[in-house]
Amino acid sequence: MGFILATKLLVYTKVFTCFGNVRQLACYCGVAPFEYRSGTSIKGKTGVSKFANMDLKATLHLAAISAIQHNVELKKYYQRKVEEGKSKMSVINAVRNKLLARIVAVVNRNTPYVQLANA
């Protein structure tokens, strides 16, 4: 995570006090997938909200692209999912969610992020 993403997250989330969990933050950022549903029928593919904070979503997108290129664990995850037949954009969206989950975990624990040795 870079300086720009960190600054935007701190500003838009009011130092992580606006959202109770990762899912709420992901919805705000426009990276949480939702099913199109009407009653009991599911219509079409899942999609993300169009009412998201587009500035934060774009910054997260760039962070996800960079993470796929430079983080070994996320690079393997991306390659595995694309080989399984997932679309590249849906996998990038999953990487955005993973980045948000890691960021929120670090903030909630109040500890620095530690990369696992086997990754």
Q: How confident is the model at residue 38 (pLDDT cuts 50, 70, 90)?
A: low
Domain with 86, as residue range(s), is: 3-109
Domain count, the chain: 1
- The predicted model scores a pTM of 0.84
Q: What is the mean pLDDT of residues 47-52?
A: 76
Q: What is the mean pLDDT of residues 69-95?
A: 94
Tens of pLDDT, residue by residue over 103-114, are 999 998 888 887
Q: Specify if 119 maps to a domain.
A: no
| Short-list 24, 31, 22, 23, CA closest to 49 | 31
Whether residue 119 is predicted with pLDDT greater than 70 in this model: the reply is: no
| Helix, strand, or coil (residue 41) | strand
Q: Specify if 96 maps to a domain.
A: yes
Q: 41-51 burial string, b = 16+ CB within 10 Å, else e? A: eeeeeeebeee
Q: Specify if 116 maps to a domain.
A: no
Q: 68-99 burial string, b = 16+ CB within 10 Å, else e? A: beebeebeebbeebeeeeeeeeebbbbbbbbb
Mean pLDDT of the chain: 87
Would you say 78 and 67 are in contact if contact means Cβ atoms under 8 Å apart? no
